[in-house]
């Protein structure tokens, strides 16, 4: 009797504290500007463009929203 164990672990992405600080953001719902910036962020991430990532994330963080 053969036991076939396929342990396929998903690639572990280490959440870096610094990365979270620089590139972390909460995407607000219903904001077209931030949605566009989110798209820019993802594009920059694909290109490993850390500067573009930082700019997009920082713009999202600083985009004013009415909070109630």
Which chain residues interact with Zn ion by CB under 5 A? 31, 33-34, 63
Between 16 and 24, CB nearer to Zn ion = 24
- Residue 34 makes CB contacts below 8 A (sequence gap 6+) with 27, 28, 60, 63
CB of 3 to Zn ion, least distance (A): 53
Which residue, 40, 50, 49, is CA-closest to 19?
A: 50
CB of 57 to Zn ion, least distance (A): 12
Between 11 and 64, CB nearer to Zn ion = 64
CB of 28 to Zn ion, least distance (A): 5
């Amino acid at each position: 009797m053969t036991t076939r164990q396929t342990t396929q672990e998903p690639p572990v992405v280490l959440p870096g504290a610094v990365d979270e600080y620089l590139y972390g953001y909460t995407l607000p719902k219903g904001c077209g500007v931030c949605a566009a910036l989110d798209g820019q962020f993802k594009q920059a991430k694909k290109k490993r463009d850390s500067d573009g990532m930082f700019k997009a994330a920082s713009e999202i963080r600083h985009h004013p929203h009415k909070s109630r």
